[in-house]
Amino acid sequence: MAECEALKSLRHRNLVKVLTTCSSVDYHGNDFKALVYEYMVNGSLEDWLHPTVGINEVDEAPRNLDFLQTLTRNLDFLQRLTIAIDIAHALEYLHNHCETPVVQCDLKASNVLLDDEMTAHVGDFGLAKFLSQHGEDAVTHESSSIGVRGTTGYAPLEYGMGSEVSVYGDVYSYGILLLEIFTGKRPTDDMFREGLNLHNFAKATLPERGVEITNPALLGEIEEGETSTNITRNQSRSSHIIHECLNLIIEIGVAWSQDFPGERMSISNVVPKLHFLREKLLKTRNRGA
């Protein structure tokens, strides 16, 4: 319960606020502890990346506003990049700016919630661990051999082999999530089998073929400036910049999801890289406005 209380003290614009904690006993007589989080009106990033409403459900579902909004949900390139930056800021705070460094241990799309302004907030600290020191060498002395920490596909390989929990585990999960945001592929997709995974799938497109694995929802935005008969110089440049940014994002996602922890950079390194890409994209859009 002490860790639950400590989590209440975490304050950052990109973390879901822990409102309170509670401790009780469940129906089987086991201790029960819970964290109560702030409500986020736009649901989870998972809801936006992978809408569950199928085309066959349209005629059967009630015609209410929430349903219609679900049908039209889509994140454009800039929104996805901004969300990725928000998540990186949250991890940077947890790893480097808390009195005791925190490893989230279960970073995935369903644990990233979006508020009314589509700002991303990292939540669900049920598996979070406090580390013994600051810096890149910070680890907890609790082994993960008691069970794989996190979620299959997002958890790093070393956790499954009993390695100590470290900030580099979150870095791996972030790299995988970044690839998911821009490819639209879950790390547990049926296509990933017999040695193929999201990391290798993305790596094969480097350095300049990232568009080949881009989420189909983004292709229209990317190709808009390439197929129009009335194409302007600014539209062409914008399309080129998006291609360039996409390739760099895929490169970052691959670099941060390396198999070996020592090959991954700290989360502090990704923040300025993504900010640079966002500013570059914004400048191009402003010229074309």
Question: How far is residue 251's CA from residue 261's CA, in Å, rounded to a whole number?
Answer: 17
Burial of 212 (0-12, 13-18, 19+ CB in 10 A): exposed
Q: What is the 3-state secondary structure (H, E, C) of 193-227?
A: CCCCCHHHHHHCCCCCCHHHHCCHHHHHHHHHHHH
Count how many Cα atoms sit within 13 Å of the Cα of residue 104 in the half-sphere of its side chain.
30
Ramachandran angles phi, psi of 215, nearest 5°: -50, 125
What are the backbone dihedrals phi and psi of residue 280, each rounded to the nearest 5 degrees, phi first?
A: -65, -45
Strands 129-130 and 102-103, sheet pairing: antiparallel
First-to-last CA distance in the chain? 53
The residue annotated as part of the active site, out of 47, 66, 106, 259, is 106
Q: Among this protein's residues, is 106 annotated catalytic?
A: yes
Catalytic residue set: 106
